């Protein structure tokens, strides 16, 4: 069983297990009708928060703006979310299944070569960042404002690494941490480039970037698959 290091923070970090679990607020036991109401309110606040953040930006938007957009109350908001950073993080958590599926495709290559990796980057990775640009931008702002969100982001990175498990099969015992770190650096490097390029709008020539990334990922995945040397 794979285990991953979790950094210390002011609050516990929730692991992602294939379904978004919500936020730091834990819903008390309730009957099915009340549970449905709770989930519907939760999703309504998330949907309205995405609209507010997309319109005003992370820093200008307030909890009051989100509450007003949801036709709710502060009391209800705080029953679901701790603060603005928490709901921004929760919005990003909603896209984690799509992110997991994206990285999971790496293990479906009929063979590891540059052509397959480049196609994966072009058809799955870049569209992911373009589709979820609002959520990705929000979580980057929230990380800067809240160390707890930053710790959660680290855990999300490790969940992406989890999708590369077949490539880490040889990294066991004393080499396990080295393998995890290599894979995490590969994921984080891709994330930062896509964030500045596709979310923040730094100009790059698409074909050139795809070529460079394909070369990098083929090389590093091959290293991971071969296992530690010596």
Give the Cβ contact number of residue 100 at 10 Å. Answer: 16
Q: Which residue segments constitute the domains of the chain, with CATH numbers given?
A: 32-81 (1.10.10), 93-226 (1.10.357)
pLDDT at 28: 56
Q: Which residues of 37-66 are buried (b: 16+ CB within 10 A; e: fewer)?
A: ebeebbebbbebbbebbeeeebeebebebb
pLDDT at 103: 96
Q: How long is the chain?
A: 230
How far apart, in whole angstroms, are the C-alpha atoms of residue 50 and residue 87? Answer: 9
> What's the token pair of residue 79?
């029953």
Query: pLDDT digit string (tens) for 19-72?
Result: 334 445 555 556 888 899 999 999 999 999 999 999 999 999 999 999 999 999
Cβ proximity of 211 and 118 under 8 Å? yes
Query: pLDDT digit string (tens) for 79-88?
Result: 999 999 999 9
Query: What is the average per-residue pLDDT within 99-125?
Result: 96
pLDDT at 110: 94
Element (H, E) at 22: none
- For 94, residues 6+ apart whose C-beta sits below 8 A from its C-beta are 20, 46, 135
């Amino acid at each position: 069983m794979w285990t991953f290091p979790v950094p210390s923070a002011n609050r516990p970090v929730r692991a992602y297990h294939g379904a978004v679990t919500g936020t730091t607020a834990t819903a008390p036991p309730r009957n099915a009708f009340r549970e449905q109401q709770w989930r519907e309110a939760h999703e309504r606040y998330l949907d309205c928060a995405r609209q507010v953040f997309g319109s005003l930006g992370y820093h200008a938007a307030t909890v009051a703006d989100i509450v007003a957009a949801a036709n709710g109350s502060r009391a209800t908001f705080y029953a679901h979310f701790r603060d603005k950073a928490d709901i921004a993080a929760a919005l990003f958590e909603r896209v984690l299944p799509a992110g997991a599926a994206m990285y999971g495709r790496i293990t479906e290559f009929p063979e590891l070569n540059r052509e397959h990796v480049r196609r994966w980057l072009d058809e799955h990775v870049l569209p992911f960042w373009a589709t979820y640009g609002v959520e990705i931008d929000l979580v980057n702002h929230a990380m800067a404002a809240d160390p707890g969100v930053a710790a959660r982001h680290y855990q999300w990175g490790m969940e992406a690494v989890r999708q590369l498990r077949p490539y880490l099969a040889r990294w066991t015992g004393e080499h396990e941490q080295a393998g995890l770190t290599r894979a995490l650096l590969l994921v984080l490097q891709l994330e930062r480039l896509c964030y500045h390029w596709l979310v923040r709008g730094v100009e790059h020539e698409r074909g050139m970037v795809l070529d460079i990334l394909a070369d990098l990922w083929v090389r590093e995945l091959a290293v991971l698959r071969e296992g530690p040397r010596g």
